[in-house]
Amino acid sequence: MRMTFLGAAGAVTGSKYLLELGSRRVLVDCGLFQGVKRLRERNWQPLPLDPRSLDAVLLTHAHIDHSGYLPVIAREGYRGPVYCTDATRRLLSIMLPDAARLQEEEAEFANRHGFSKHAPARPLYTEADARAALALLHPVAPHSDLAICAEARASYSHAGHLLGAASIRIEAQGESILFSGDLGRMRDPLMRAPDPPPAADWVVIESTYGNRLHSGVDPEAELAPPLDRALARGGVVVVPTFAVGRAQLLLHLIARLKARGAIPDAPVYLNSPMAEDATPLYQDYPDEHRLGAAELAAMSRVAHFVKSVEESKALNTRVGPMIILSASGMATGGRVLHHLKAFAPDERTLILFTGFQAAGTRGAALLAGADTIKIHGEWVPVRAQVLQLHGTSSHADYRELVAWLAGSPRVPRRVFVTHGEPAASDALRQHLRRALDAEVTVPEQGERFSTL
Site of interaction with Zn ion (CB under 5 A) = 63, 182
Angle separating helix axes 127-134 and 86-113, nearest 10 degrees: 170
In angstroms, give the least distance from the CB of 165 to Zn ion: 7
All residues at 6 or more sequence positions from 36 whose CB lies less than 8 Å from its CB, including other chains: 358, 359, 360
Whether the ω angle into residue 408 lies within 30 degrees of 0, i.e. cis, is no
Bridge-based pairing of strands 56-58 and 82-84 is parallel
- Tell me the helices (H) and strands (E) count for the chain, helix number first: 15, 22
Tell me the torsion sign for CA atoms 130, 194, 215, 412. negative
**Cross-strand pairs, 155:** 169
Q: Considering beta carbons, is residue 63 or 252 the nearer one to Zn ion?
A: 63
In angstroms, give the least distance from the CB of 61 to Zn ion: 6
In angstroms, give the least distance from the CB of 242 to Zn ion: 8
DSSP state of 380: E
In angstroms, give the least distance from the CB of 63 to Zn ion: 3
CA–CA distance, 212 with 225 (Å, rounded to integer): 23
Q: Considering beta carbons, is residue 25 or 246 the nearer one to Zn ion?
A: 246
Q: Considering beta carbons, is residue 88 or 126 the nearer one to Zn ion?
A: 88
In angstroms, give the least distance from the CB of 207 to Zn ion: 13
Task: Using alpha carbons, list the distances in angstroms from residue 149 to 23, 171, 200.
Answer: 11, 11, 19
Q: Considering beta carbons, is residue 61 or 252 the nearer one to Zn ion?
A: 61
Contact 356, 12 (CB under 8 A): yes
In angstroms, give the least distance from the CB of 60 to Zn ion: 8
Bridge-based pairing of strands 2-5 and 448-450 is antiparallel
DSSP characters for 232-284?
A: HTT-EEEEE--TTTHHHHHHHHHHHHHHTTSS----EEEE-HHHHHHTTHHHH
In angstroms, give the least distance from the CB of 357 to Zn ion: 14
Tallying the residues shown for the chain, one arrives at: 452
Q: Considering beta carbons, is residue 98 or 182 the nearer one to Zn ion?
A: 182
Q: Considering beta carbons, is residue 69 or 343 the nearer one to Zn ion?
A: 69
Q: Considering beta carbons, is residue 61 or 362 the nearer one to Zn ion?
A: 61
In angstroms, give the least distance from the CB of 162 to Zn ion: 6
In angstroms, give the least distance from the CB of 249 to Zn ion: 14
SS3 letters across 74-110: HHCCCCCCEEECHHHHHHHHHHHHHHHHHHHHHHHHH
Q: Considering beta carbons, is residue 321 or 333 the nearer one to Zn ion?
A: 333
Q: Considering beta carbons, is residue 95 or 263 the nearer one to Zn ion?
A: 95
CA–CA distance, 346 with 397 (Å, rounded to integer): 34
